[in-house]
Amino acid sequence: MALARAPLRGLTQISRRFYSGAPSPAAKLNLPIDYKSTPILHHTPSSLSEISEFPAAATSKRLNFFQAINSALRTALSTSDKVLLFGEDVAFGGVFRCSMDLQSEFGSDRVFNTPLTEQGIAGFAIGAAAEGMKPVAEIQFADYVFPAFDQIVNEAAKFRYREGGTGINAGGLVIRMPCGAVGHGALYHSQSPESLFAHIPGLRVVIPRSPSQAKGLLLSSIFDHNDPVIFMEPKILYRAAVEHVPNEYYTIPLSKAEVIKPGKDITIISYGQPLYLCSAAISAIEKTMKGVNVELIDLRTIYPWDRQAVLESVRKTGRAIVVHESMINYGVGAEVASTIQEGAFLRLEAPVKRVAGWSTHTGLSYEQFILPDVARIYDAIKQTLEY
């Protein structure tokens, strides 16, 4: 499009700019994640069959994260007439393409746009759930969920408790939202507010790490649990993470962590996108520190969480690090670390370390310095092992 280029005539071309600092040319640790080779993803169908949670003898297809969400939503909508899907800009496929083609397949009664009101979307979903539907509501960005906070915290979370003997509840409700940093989202397109929701009993908070996990966890959230679920999708993975995903209906249990790499010397507990950073740091440390063997656990559900899986691992390894993207202060790491301290104190060889976002906002130019990276995780593993 030569015409469109015209306005910039007279300016020298520069190479693609990184808005939060470029990767250092000499970097060995802080390299862009190679999603094509990371062991976190199922690059071949054969590795799927090794996981007991996936359907046996399943056929599979390579999907990215948004396609896996789309596949889960399509499966859910065709499994039950009670499933509804709505939110801002959902009808044309959603700003992240998760609801693509679903309105034309399932009709505008069940898949539809809402006005631009998060509190309205959440309240509407709670009401529909209370009357027996299975609403899947989309909040366009986790950063914009806060007008809905009252509905989620005071209504969805407390619905069953308040109703008591009537037995009425808001189960079947799932509120999906893209979360996390992408490198240029700044203050309002980067947040991961999971710890705010995890503080509230009555809500299940789920963050999947990959396309195949996302499909199973989302179907489980819709069909296997009668509790409201906050389903947070790391948006950086929508296009980047591609792997084999079973075509069939399957569920992955909530509140159950997964050991995604067994090890004996130290346990790293994380969830969502930082698992890829952990995996890169682990492969670096296992190369530089011969004989070291790191265990990596994906919490998958942030709350109610799989305490026993974490304690069992730390009782074995004696060392633990918690990694998450959102701020360290009063974050998920604080809860996990104190649970380890209470439940495995005598087995600990070093203090439980937290690698997380600093206690500030996600300033555009500073994202790479504020959020955890491979070097910081590498350093934390080294320090904890050498303590």
Partner 1 sequence: MSIPSTRTLPLKLLAQNPGLLRRVAPVGTRWSSSISQRPGSDSVRFPGAVNSKFTTQMSFLKASDLPAIPTYRVMDSDGEMVDKTRPPTDVTDEEVLTWYRNMLTVSIMDVVMFEAQRQGRLSFYMVSAGEEGITVGSAAALTPDDVVFAQYREAGVFQQRGFTLKNFMDQLFANYNDTGKGRNMPVHYGQNYPRMHTISSPLATQIPQAAGAAYALKLQDLQNPTRAPRIVACYFGEGAASEGDFHAALNIAATRSCPVVFICRNNGYAISTPTLEQYRGDGIASRGVGYGIDTIRVDGNDVFAVHEAMKEARRVALDGGRPVLIEAMSYRVSHHSTSDDSFAYRARVEVEDWKRRDNPIIRLRKWLENQGLWNEDLERETRDELRKAVLKEFGEAERGKKPPLREAFADVYEDITEEAQEQMKELKRILETYPDEYDLRPYQDGVKGLD
Strand segments, DSSP code E, in 75-234 are 83-87, 111-113, 134-138, 174-179, 204-206, 229-234
Residues that bind partner 1 (CB under 8 A): 4-5, 7-8, 10-11, 13-14, 16-17, 19, 21-30, 88-89, 91-93, 95, 112-113, 115-120, 143-144, 146-147, 184-189, 328-329, 358-361, 363-366, 368-370, 373-376, 379
Q: Output the smallest distance, CB 188 to partner 1, in A.
A: 4
Q: Taking Cα atoms as reference points, which of 244, 260, 241 lies closest to residue 55?
A: 244
What is the spatial distance between Cα 108 and Cα 127, in angstroms, rounded to a whole number? 19
- Residue 180 CB, nearest distance to partner 1 (Å)? 16
Of 42, 189, 244, 324, which residue is the catalytic one?
189
Write the CA distances from 220 to 213, 253, 280, integer angstroms: 10, 6, 29
Give catalytic status of residue 386 as yes or no: no
**Which residue, 6 or 57, is less far from partner 1 as judged by CB?**
6
Between 115 and 165, name the residue whose CB sits nearer to partner 1. Answer: 115
Backbone φ and ψ for 160, nearest 5 degrees, come out as: -65, -40
Identify the H or E element spanning 33: none
Is 325 part of the annotated catalytic residue set?
A: no
The least CB distance from residue 225 to partner 1, in Å, is: 29
DSSP assignment string, 76-119: HHHH-TTEEEEETTTTTT-TTSTTTTHHHHH-TTTEEE--S-HH
**Which residue's CB is nearer to partner 1, number 262 or number 363?**
363
The answer to whether residues 332 and 319 touch, using CB atoms and an 8 Å cutoff, is: no
End-to-end alpha-carbon separation of the chain, Å?
59
Which amino acid, one-letter code, is at 4? A
Q: Please identify, using beta-carbon distances, which residue of 145 and 207 lies nearer to partner 1.
A: 145
Which residue number, 149 or 249, has a Cβ lying nearer to partner 1? 149
Largest CA distance in the chain: 74
Identify which of residues 148 and 222 has a Cβ nearer to partner 1 in the complex.
Answer: 148
Q: Quote the least distance from Cβ 102 to partner 1, whole Å.
A: 14
**Least distance in angstroms from the C-beta of 355 to partner 1:** 10
Instruction: Tell me how far apart the alpha carbons of residues 344 and 307 are, in angstroms, rounded to a whole number.
Output: 11
Active-site pick, 42, 88, 118, 244: 118
Q: Please, what is the minimum distance in Å from the beta carbon of residue 361 to partner 1?
A: 7
Residues annotated catalytic, as ranges: 118, 189
